[in-house]
Structure 1
C-alpha cells in the first residue's frame, strides 16, 4: 500500500508545471520531474546521479541557488536565476529552494523553479523599444505630439471632489515634486498621472509607466535600473527605465507591491538623483520626476508595511486620492453619455442613451470596478446590440435581474429581509469581481478588499458557480 501511495505522489509531482530538482548533500541530482526536463531539455536518465554544475555548466557555486542552500542550510524564496543550457539557450527561472535535513544535518536540497524566460525576454524587448522610441523623440520639435495620451480634459465629471482634484493636479504639474495617486482599481489614476505629465514642462520628454506588481524582484530591479554585461548570465549593457525617462516622468504603478529590498535602492536613487546599473560600480545622473500610484487606502501602506516609511514620505509630497464611482454617482449620467458617444463612433452605432430602468440600476449599483466597469458595460452593450436605447437586456451578466431595492415612492411589496438583501448584493459584487479577474481568487479578493479565505467562504456560502 505504501508503494502505491509513493507512486501516486510521484505522478502528482510530475503533473506540476514547475520544475522540481532534488539533490543530495554533495550536489548530485537524485530527482528531476517532467517539468524540469521540459524546462532544461535534458533527459531524466542523463541528469540523475550527476552533479548540478555538470548538468548546468553556466552556473557556479556562487550563482547556483541550490548550492547556496546546501552551503548555508537556509531556505531562499523567489530568487531569479539565469543560466545557459547545454544547447546555448538563455533560461531565466524564479527559484524557491529548501534544505533537506536529518538529525540537524543538511542531507540535500529541494528546488522549485518557475520558467520566466518569456517574461524576461518580453520585458527586455519593451525596454529596447522604449529606448528606441525615446531616442527618436529627442530629435522631435516641441510642437510634437506628447508621449502620454491623456490630459485633464479627458477626465469626465462635475463632482465637486473631482473638480477639486483636477485643480490640484494642474497645480502639481507646475512643480517637480513627487506625486502619489491613491484610488481603487478602475477609478482613473493613470488619467491623472498622464494629465500631470502633459501639463508640465516635461511634456515633450519621455513618459514611462511600469507596474511594480507585474514582475519578480530581480527582474524589476534590472528593468528599473539597467544592467551591465556579465552582471548575470545573459545580461547585456542596457539602460533601465530611470535612464530612459531622463528629463521626463516615470510612473510607478502599484508601488506598494514593490519588494521591500528594492524599495531601499529606489529611495537612494530618489535622494541622490543617481542610478547604478545592476553589476556596475559607476553611477549615472538622472533627472526624473517620479509619480507613483497605490490601489489601497493611503494610510494603510505604511501601517501594513507595504512601503518603507522613509520611501512613503519621499513619494507622498503631493497626494491625490481619487474617489470611488459610488461616491460620485452624480457623474454617472455624464460618463454614460461620454462612453455612448465614444463607442458609437468606434462601432458605427446610433444609441442615443439608456432606458430609465438601466439608469435606476446604474444609480444604485455599487460599482466595484468603478469607472472602468461602467465603460465596459457601455462598450459591451454598444458592441453587441443595435437600437436607440441601451436596455436592461443589453447589460452584462452582473446586471441581469438586478433591480434597485429603493424607490422614490416606497413599494412595500418588494421590501426584503435585510440578510437576504445583503446576500444578494454580496453575490453580485463577488460575481462581478470574479468575472473581471478571469476567476482568479487572489486578484478578485484584492479587488474587493477582502482576505482570500473570506472570499472562498463567501463563494461556497452564496452558492456562486466557479469556472
Structure 2
C-alpha cells in the first residue's frame, strides 16, 4: 500500500468524528457494548426533550421505556448486524413520546465489537425537510402547535360532547381532568386545549406520571436545591419551567399519594418549593390532568386523593373508548391511512371488507392508539399494494378472540354517559360507592385467571404478556402486584 494512503488511513482512524455528529440535524446516540450511552448529540436532545447530562453514562433501558427485546440499539448489539431504517415509536422515562426512524450499526475494532452507533430521524423533521412533496399544509399536519379540536377525529355524539366541553374549558384558567382508558387520545385533547387557549404561545409540558420512577418524580416536578442531597444542584422543576404555560399530568392516579398532597398545595396556592429549598416561587399554570380508571374506584382504593380530585377535576371530561364508538372506525382508518401514506411514501387507498369486519368485532383494548399502530404496521409490509388485507395484519390479532370478549371491560358506570359538565364528583364522606363485594371479587378472580393464563403461555415474560393482553408493561406490573401473582411459577 502506498505511504500516502497509509498516512491518510492513519489520520482518518484518529479523526474526531464526534465533533461532526455535534452538528448533525439527525439524532446520534453512541453506546458501549453493554448498552451504556457514551455520546448523545444536541439533535437527539431536542427529539427526546432530555438534557445531555441526564443521559450520558446511563443505560438505554434507563433512559427509554424499552427492553432488550424492543430496543433497536440493544438488538443491534446482540445480533452484531446493522438495523436499517427501522420505524420506532417509543417513550422516554420522562414521558415524552417520539415517532422516529432508526438506523443502528455495530462498531468493531478489528474483530472485537466496541459498541453501536444509532442515527435517529424524527418523523416531524422528515416532513419538514421533504420540501418537494406535494402535500398541502404538511408542517401543520405534524406540528404539535397546530393540533386543534378540528384535528380530533370523531363523529360519535358522546365523543363530540367531550370535544365541546374541552373547547369551552380551554378559555378559562380552571383545571381540567380528562378520564379515559390508555390510548383514547387524552394527550391529544390536552394539546388541543392548550393550543386553543390564551397560553398557546407558551410552553406545553406533558408528564407521564406512571413512567417516571417514584424517587425521581418529586425532583423532576418541583426542582432541586443545591445541598438537598448528595450531588443535587440548583435546578428548576417542570412546574417552574412551564410557568405561564400548560402542564399535563398524565395518569395522575399513578402518582404516590404523598406527592399528590404536594401537588394539591401547588394548585391551591400557585407556588412551588424546590426539594431542599426554603423559598417558594410563584407560578402561573393551566393544569390539565388525566386518569385512566374510574375516579370513584381509585378514590375508594386510596390511589387518588379525593381532595386532589376535587381541585383537578373542576372540569371533568370523559373520553369514551373506541369500542363504544365503533361508528367512527371508517373515518379513523381513512385518517391514519392518509397520515402514514405521507410518512411511509405509500399509496394505500383502503382496507378489505374482511379486515374492516375484524376491526368491528375486535375489542380494541389499546383504543385509537392501537388502531393507528395496526394500520402503520400493515402499511409497512403492504408493498406496492393499495389495499390492506388480512395477511398484512401480521400476528397482531393472533389472540384477538381472548382479548376481544373475555377481557372486555365491565359496563361503564352511569356517570360516564352523562355530559361532562354535569358530572358530580364523589362525596368525601360517606365513602364513595363501590361495586358489591361479591361482584367485585368475581371480576377480580376472572381478571387474575386471564393474567395467569397469558403469563404462563409466555413463560412469565412481561413484554410478551403485556403485548398479548393489549396493555402497557407498567399496567401489567401493577396488576401482578395487585393480584399477588408469583412470576417464578412461570419460569
Q: Report the TM-score range of the alignment, normalised by the length of the smaller protein.
A: 0.5 to 0.7
The answer for the alignment partner of 2:408 in structure 1 is: none
CA contact (8 A) 1:149 1:194 kept: no
Matched, 1:393 2:388: no
The answer for the alignment partner of 2:17 in structure 1 is: none
When residues 238 and 186 of structure 1 are mapped into structure 2, their CA distance, relative to the original with a 3 A threshold, is same
Task: State the alpha-carbon separation in 2 of the partners of residues 278 and 154 from structure 1.
Answer: 39
Matched, 1:226 2:223: yes
> How far has the Cα of 1:212 moved from its partner?
1.3
> How far has the Cα of 1:436 moved from its partner?
8.3
Q: Cα deviations across residues 26-46 of structure 1 (Å, max 9, x unaligned)? A: xxxxxxxxxxxxxxxxxxxxx
> How far has the Cα of 1:116 moved from its partner?
12
What is the 5 A alignment of 1:19-168?
Answer: 148=145, 150-168=147-165
CA contact (8 A) 1:434 1:441 kept: no
Task: State the alpha-carbon separation in 2 of the partners of residues 209 and 182 from structure 1.
Answer: 16
Q: Cα deviations across residues 71-118 of structure 1 (Å, max 9, x unaligned)? A: xxxxxxxxxxxxxxxxxx99xxxxxxxxxxxxxxxxxxxxxxx99996
Give the root-mean-square deviation of aligned CA atoms.
4.4
CA contact (8 A) 2:295 2:304 kept: no
The answer for the alignment partner of 1:268 in structure 2 is: 265
> How far has the Cα of 1:349 moved from its partner?
1.2
Task: State the alpha-carbon separation in 2 of the partners of residues 359 and 455 from structure 1.
Answer: 39
Q: Cα deviations across residues 253-296 of structure 1 (Å, max 9, x unaligned)? A: 11111111111111111111111111111111110111101111
Task: State the alpha-carbon separation in 2 of the partners of residues 340 and 441 from structure 1.
Answer: 22
> How far has the Cα of 1:401 moved from its partner?
9.0
Matched, 1:185 2:182: yes
Task: State the alpha-carbon separation in 1 of the partners of residues 261 and 170 from structure 2.
Answer: 27
The answer for the alignment partner of 2:475 in structure 1 is: 446
When residues 358 and 309 of structure 1 are mapped into structure 2, their CA distance, relative to the original with a 3 A threshold, is same
Q: Cα deviations across residues 210-237 of structure 1 (Å, max 9, x unaligned)? A: 1112223332111111111111111111
Task: State the alpha-carbon separation in 1 of the partners of residues 375 and 221 from structure 2.
Answer: 37
CA contact (8 A) 2:204 2:248 kept: yes
Q: 1:199 aligns with which of 196, 199, 209?
A: 196
What is the 5 A alignment of 1:314-463?
Answer: 314-386=311-383, 387-400=385-398, 435=464, 437=466, 443=472, 446=475
Task: State the alpha-carbon separation in 1 of the partners of residues 259 and 214 from structure 2.
Answer: 7
Task: State the alpha-carbon separation in 1 of the partners of residues 152 and 173 from structure 2.
Answer: 22
Task: State the alpha-carbon separation in 2 of the partners of residues 436 and 378 from structure 1.
Answer: 22
When residues 447 and 185 of structure 1 are mapped into structure 2, their CA distance, relative to the original with a 3 A threshold, is farther
The answer for the alignment partner of 1:280 in structure 2 is: 277
Matched, 1:258 2:255: yes
CA contact (8 A) 1:224 1:242 kept: yes
Q: 1:211 aligns with which of 201, 204, 208?
A: 208
The answer for the alignment partner of 1:309 in structure 2 is: 306
> How far has the Cα of 1:448 moved from its partner?
12
Q: How many residue pairs end up in the alignment? A: 318
> How far has the Cα of 1:347 moved from its partner?
1.3
> How far has the Cα of 1:383 moved from its partner?
1.0
- SS of 2:295's partner is coil
Q: Which runs of 5+ in 2 are unaligned?
A: 1-52, 65-91, 97-138, 403-445
When residues 400 and 257 of structure 1 are mapped into structure 2, their CA distance, relative to the original with a 3 A threshold, is closer
CA contact (8 A) 1:147 1:207 kept: no
CA contact (8 A) 1:351 1:390 kept: yes
Task: State the alpha-carbon separation in 2 of the partners of residues 436 and 346 from structure 1.
Answer: 30
CA contact (8 A) 1:173 1:197 kept: yes
CA contact (8 A) 2:245 2:285 kept: yes
When residues 397 and 336 of structure 1 are mapped into structure 2, their CA distance, relative to the original with a 3 A threshold, is same
When residues 123 and 189 of structure 1 are mapped into structure 2, their CA distance, relative to the original with a 3 A threshold, is closer
Task: State the alpha-carbon separation in 1 of the partners of residues 61 and 399 from structure 2.
Answer: 46
Q: Which runs of 5+ in 1 are unaligned?
A: 1-88, 91-113, 127-143, 405-421, 461-465
Q: Cα deviations across residues 149-182 of structure 1 (Å, max 9, x unaligned)? A: 5221221111111111111110010111101111
- SS of 1:397's partner is coil
- SS of 2:330's partner is helix
CA contact (8 A) 1:441 1:455 kept: no
Task: State the alpha-carbon separation in 2 of the partners of residues 224 and 394 from structure 1.
Answer: 43
Task: State the alpha-carbon separation in 2 of the partners of residues 224 and 454 from structure 1.
Answer: 31
- SS of 2:287's partner is strand
Q: Cα deviations across residues 166-217 of structure 1 (Å, max 9, x unaligned)? A: 1111001011110111111111110000000000011111111111122233
The answer for the alignment partner of 1:25 in structure 2 is: none
Larger Rg: 1
